[in-house]
Structure 1
Amino acid sequence: MTEICRGLGIDEECCSVLERYIKLLLNSPVNLTSTRDLQVAFVKHIEDVAIPFSITGIKGDCIDIGSGGGVPGIVLAILFPQSRWTLSESRRPKATQLLRFVKELSLSSVEVSNERVEKLGKTHYEVFDNAVIRAVGRADLCLEYAAPLLKPSGSVFLFKGPNWRDELRYSAKASATLGMDLARIIPYSLSDHSQRYLIEYTKISSTPNKFPRKPGLATKRPLGDMS
């Protein structure tokens, strides 16, 4: 773990907190990750976040949509302690674990929301500077979740694998509808040779009033499938 942190430019104190977090994640009674190997988990959950955000950085009020076990939100809260975070997780068992992680790691700048993201889009309309989404769904779905939450000129960062281009035709429709614009694509590789991409979309105009739609509609009738 220390060698990975050193290679990423992460100091010893921060690395120690990240290692504590990964151990909490692996030992959780709720299934939050597909691996039980500490080294593999560190690459999959820490490297995958730390590498691209060493380029972009992140600050301000941020939300992790569909946080699951806290990746990438908790990782970024540790790496960028001046940022403020809301971890959005609608499944109560996972949200309960997130609350425990936040408490045990003393992350005072992190709060957990158990509301559906569509409801947050109404109560927290244009509140956040940044949103991050990892392993939630197709890009058009992710953009629809994020857009109402973002301030004008805010950004959403999507973590994607090597087939991300297959989603472009869907995300192009959604971004045009939602007032979002593809800002940049950051390719990077993990130490296990996985090829990864961080896709940034920026909010260039206010989200139309009909968004967020009712819970479930984004998945039942995706924007990318509409003519």
Structure 2
Amino acid sequence: MSEVSRETAAAESAAAVFSTQLPLAERYAELLATEGVRRGLIGPRESDRLWDRHILNCAVIAELIDPSADVLDIGSGAGLPGIPLAIVRPDLWITLVEPMERRTTFLEEAIERLELSNVEVVRSRAEEVRPRGKADVVTSRALAPLDKLAHWCLPLARRGGQVLAIKGASAADEIAKHERTIGKRGARRVSVVRCGTGLLETPTTVIRMYHSV
């Protein structure tokens, strides 16, 4: 696909995914391309792929989340996937959890600039988040191997809640490798789900696991 064709496809996908929220998503993209790059939260080579590789890649996992859910985004970094989720789903309450001060400063400024009323920032490591066992959904993106994610994230989800980990092409292999360990952590109904099929050139791959009831 040529560069022009790829950009056109990304623009069409963005309009389909964000609908009336698209102007807000565009403001976030601009913020990532400027302050995000300047502060080292987004690589300079990523600025041309912000929509398809980052923003849309994250926003489409909203299809897995029930209305009015309480979501914890662990290791939020530049706000991915938490901020795209907050934009595309104003009904969700999103808590961005990030231990690094320079990143939490960026997140707080982003929330203020975007005037998002359904997001808060907590500077914390995942294992130190309180209260535990309350979130409907715990999200992460390219954060850690699945066994570590289960250790960090499952205790934060309520019984019957879910952990959504955005992963790559080796997701199924990762499940097979860590199946016993994550089962001991309380993971149940673990599966690989593709989000954004029919909307994105490359659908988002998500490992979905439920906290045992």
**Same fold flag (TM > 0.5):** yes
The Cα offsets for residues 74-98 of structure 1, whole Å up to 9 and x where unpaired, read as 1101111011011000011011100
- State percent identity of aligned pairs: 26
How far did 1:196 drift? Answer: 3.9
In terms of fraction of residues, the more helix-rich structure is: 2
Q: Distance in 2 between matches of 1:73 and 1:102?
A: 11
How far did 1:4 drift? Answer: 2.3
Q: Distance in 2 between matches of 1:196 and 1:37?
A: 17
Query: Are 1:126 and 2:133 matched, yes or no?
Result: yes
* Number of residue-to-residue matches in the alignment: 200
Q: Counterpart of 2:209?
A: 201
Query: Secondary structure of the residue that 1:82 maps to in structure 2?
Result: coil
The Cα offsets for residues 118-150 of structure 1, whole Å up to 9 and x where unpaired, read as 111xx2111211010101011111111111111
How far did 1:192 drift? Answer: 7.9
How far did 1:195 drift? Answer: 5.9
Indicate which of 181, 188, 199 corresponds to 2:188: 181
Query: Secondary structure of the residue that 1:27 maps to in structure 2?
Result: helix
Q: Identify which range, 145-154 or 194-203, moves more after superposition.
A: 194-203
Give the gaps of 5 or more residues in structure 1.
206-227
Query: Are 1:26 and 2:37 matched, yes or no?
Result: no
For the 8 Å contact 1:155–1:202, the answer to whether it is kept is yes
Indicate which of 66, 74, 91 corresponds to 1:82: 91
TM-score (norm 1): 0.80
Query: Secondary structure of the residue that 1:77 maps to in structure 2?
Result: helix
**1:52–1:125: structure 2 CA closer, same or farther, 3 Å change rule?**
closer
Alignment RMSD, CA only? Answer: 2.2
Indicate which of 116, 130, 140 corresponds to 1:107: 116
Paired amino acid for 2:211:
K
Q: Counterpart of 1:209?
A: none
TM-score (norm 2): 0.85
For the 8 Å contact 2:57–2:203, the answer to whether it is kept is no
Q: Superposed, which structure 2 residues align to 1:1-227 within 5 Å?
A: 2-8=11-17, 10-12=18-20, 14-28=21-35, 29-36=38-45, 38-54=47-63, 56-58=64-66, 59-120=68-129, 123-187=130-194, 193-194=201-202, 196-205=204-213
**1:62–1:68: structure 2 CA closer, same or farther, 3 Å change rule?**
same
How far did 1:161 drift? Answer: 0.7
Q: Distance in 2 between matches of 1:127 and 1:182?
A: 19
